[in-house]
Amino acid sequence: MLYKKGLKILAKIILILGGARSGKSTFAEKIAKKLGGEQVSYIATAEALDQEMQERIELHQSQRSKKWDTIEEPKEVSKVIKRVENSRTILIDCLTLFISNLLLEKENLKNENNLEIKNKLEDEIINEVKEIIDIARKKHMNLIIVSNEVGQGLVPSYELGRLFRDISGRANQMMAQKVDKVYLTIAGFALDLNELNKNNQADILKDLGEG
């Protein structure tokens, strides 16, 4: 629990999904500001591997509060969260880049056809994502996670891309079940998926069986 003037405040874990340029990062920063004010730790998972990515990073930096603590960490996000002590609100932007970084670390995967090995790698990455949520819960932190909705575009033409899509989709599903709120951003608008899902799958299936 967080405490403020003697009152208990429930820490929140929030997942924000969206496609490219959907407004997900902007919305996430507004939530972080609302929950944490100027005491926010911003974990950036992007790496400036080329000029275009460097420009994107600089744009994001210019748009957020200069008082926030920015931590650039492409892979060891859970370790960073364990070390954070100066704020109770953490924003991770973004989860899919984090997954991509972990995948690209496995260079031999590009020529690997062993399904068992790939399934093991997928489980390892999913467990790493779970660890991020579990640590935030244990430390009673507000945690906002930005992630791309990757399942509505073209099927990647190369194997590593398809594996990335599958792991990202599975990670998003897992998080949606564990977090407190899930939002989907489209053209700058945010949809509350929890509100839309009041009739959950179990209820829908039950209704279908009562005809």
Task: State the catalytic residues.
Answer: 60
Give residues with Cβ within 8 angstroms of 140, minimum separation 6: 1, 2, 11, 88
Order of strands, sheet of 189-192, starting from the edge strand that comes earlier in the sequence: 69-72, 40-44, 89-93, 142-148, 13-18, 181-186, 189-192
SS (H, E, C) 72-137: ECCCCHHHHHHHCCCCCEEEEECHHHHHHHHHHCCHHHHHCCCHHHHHHHHHHHHHHHHHHHHHHH
Residue 31 DSSP SS3: helix
Cα–Cα separations (whole angstroms), residue 158 to 76, 115, 163: 26, 16, 9
Among residues 74, 10, 26, 83, which one has the least CA distance to residue 48?
74
